Amino acid sequence: MSKSAFVAIVGRPSAGKSTLLNTLCGEKISIVTPLPQTTRNKVRGILTESRGQLVFVDTPGFHDSQRKFNLHMRDLVSGALEETDMVLYVIDATRSPGQEEQALAQLLTQEDHPVITVLNKSDAPPAPGWEDFFATFRDSNAPGLSISAATGQGIEALKDLLFESAPEGDPMYPEEYYTDQDPSFRISEIIREQAMLRNRDEIPHSLYVEVADLEEDPDTNLLWIRAFIVVERESQKGIVVGKGGTQIKAIRQTAQKEIARLFPQKIHLDLRVKASPKWRNKDALLRRLIR
């Protein structure tokens, strides 16, 4: 009988959840930067093998903060736990356990679903305190493994454990699917990744991306995209644009190349910058962006 399950991937910011999702599915599904809290949404990646199908739900990092923006992302994590069949708890072995880790572990001990723990970044020297924490948590939940999402170490063993723990069921998506993200979301995430990487020391978390138009011209086989990088203050627009427009040009060119890998058409990306004051405090916008 085939196995089938939704698997929530949870952990602290920068634990390597998105890298693990991409490694498990063999495709770049979730954007990755060295910055914490890069993931803002539930991002689904689909792994289909002869033994079944696993649908992974990458979630934002569990962050202990009362800011409205972070509360919306914590609600997203809680919602993912309620909607999935299993939990994959990712621990960063290079950072000692702290208050956030304790809070998340406490939340997961209340889970009715199987919880599989992975001690990630095992290719680097571990921080103190993990051995006892990991052993205690693992003994009270599903088995755990040491892995490296970046190098692939332990990934096949993790897949085996996930399929063994998954319930029986039929596939939820066609075999050729590796994600169910809509085109506008994937485009906006690629642009946001490049904008964050090129502004990582200035305003990485003060921006989001809005795809305003997608127009396809079948005669020229051209997909024309108009998108905006939205920042919080007028003064931040110049940082994103850069001197003589060099920064926004570099973001546009790199993002356009990435987007071109997803579509059969030729891509033209029209990318601009605008300001939306205090957008991280606007509930209606946050509900639309963080979902």
| Token reading at 115 | 């919880």
3-state class (DSSP) for residue 9: strand
3-state class (DSSP) for residue 43: strand
- Compute the distance between CA of residue 180 and CA of residue 178 in angstroms, rounded to an integer: 7
| Token reading at 169 | 């069921």
- Compute the distance between CA of residue 122 and CA of residue 151 in angstroms, rounded to an integer: 10
- Compute the distance between CA of residue 28 and CA of residue 19 in angstroms, rounded to an integer: 9
Burial class (CB in 10 A: 0-12, 13-18, 19+), 28: buried
C-alpha separations of 243 from 1, 5, 167, 232, 233 in Å: 60, 49, 55, 19, 18
- Residues flagged as binding site for GTP: 11-18, 58-62, 120-123
- Which of 12, 215, 217 minimizes the C-alpha distance to 108? 12
Contact 274, 230 (CB under 8 A): yes
- Residues flagged as binding site: 11-18, 58-62, 120-123
- Compute the distance between CA of residue 165 and CA of residue 61 in angstroms, rounded to an integer: 24
